[in-house]
């Protein structure tokens, strides 16, 4: 009983993330992952990640060469697919000052404010 209530409550904050279907990335997420036994909110199958990088550290796109994928990595990923899964919990951030401002001053969604100068000054 408690478990169901907990699940329902958490689910109201959590977005399901699946690779194949619709994807909910949310915005400004906090994520917890763990090894799964019987996941209750969101399952992320390791195969969904299609690990082209194997056990190598994450390399951002602009630093990537052309040799990321290797047969051995692909093989290792395949082996891992059969042994473990991870659970990914996505949590949207709480209400912000800007959320309240937008609620009071409804924005039509077409306006884009990108003040490069102001942004640079923030650094």
Partner 1 sequence: MCTASDFVDPLFYDTRLTKKGAEQAASLAPVTRFLDPAPEVLIASPLHRAMTTADLAFGSCQGIKKETCALMRERVFHASDVGRHPDAIEADFPDWCVKALREEHAEKDGVWWYAGDTDGGDNLGAAVSVSGVVQEPVEEVSLFLSVYGQVE
Residues at the interface with partner 1 (CB under 8 A)? 6, 9-10, 13, 19, 23, 25, 27-37, 44, 46, 48-53, 55-58, 60-63, 86-89, 91-101, 105-108, 110-116, 118-120, 122-123
Among 53, 49, 57, 47, which residue's Cα sits nearest to residue 73?
53
Cα(123)–Cα(48) distance, integer angstroms? 36
Shortest separation between residue 44's beta carbon and partner 1, angstroms: 7
| Nearby residues of 20 by Cβ (< 8 Å), 6 or more positions away | 48
Shortest separation between residue 5's beta carbon and partner 1, angstroms: 10
């Amino acid at each position: 009983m408690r478990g169901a209530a907990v699940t329902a409550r958490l689910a109201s904050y959590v977005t399901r993330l699946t690779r194949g279907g619709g994807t909910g990335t949310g915005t400004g997420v906090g994520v917890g992952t763990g090894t799964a036994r019987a996941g209750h909110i969101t399952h992320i199958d390791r195969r969904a990640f299609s690990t082209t990088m194997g056990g190598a550290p994450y390399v951002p796109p602009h630093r990537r060469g052309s040799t990321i994928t290797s047969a051995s990595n692909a093989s290792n990923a395949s082996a891992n697919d059969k042994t473990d899964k991870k659970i990914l919990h996505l949590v949207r951030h709480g209400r912000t000052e800007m959320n309240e401002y937008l609620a009071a001053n409804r924005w039509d969604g077409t306006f884009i404010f990108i003040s490069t100068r102001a942004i640079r000054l923030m650094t």
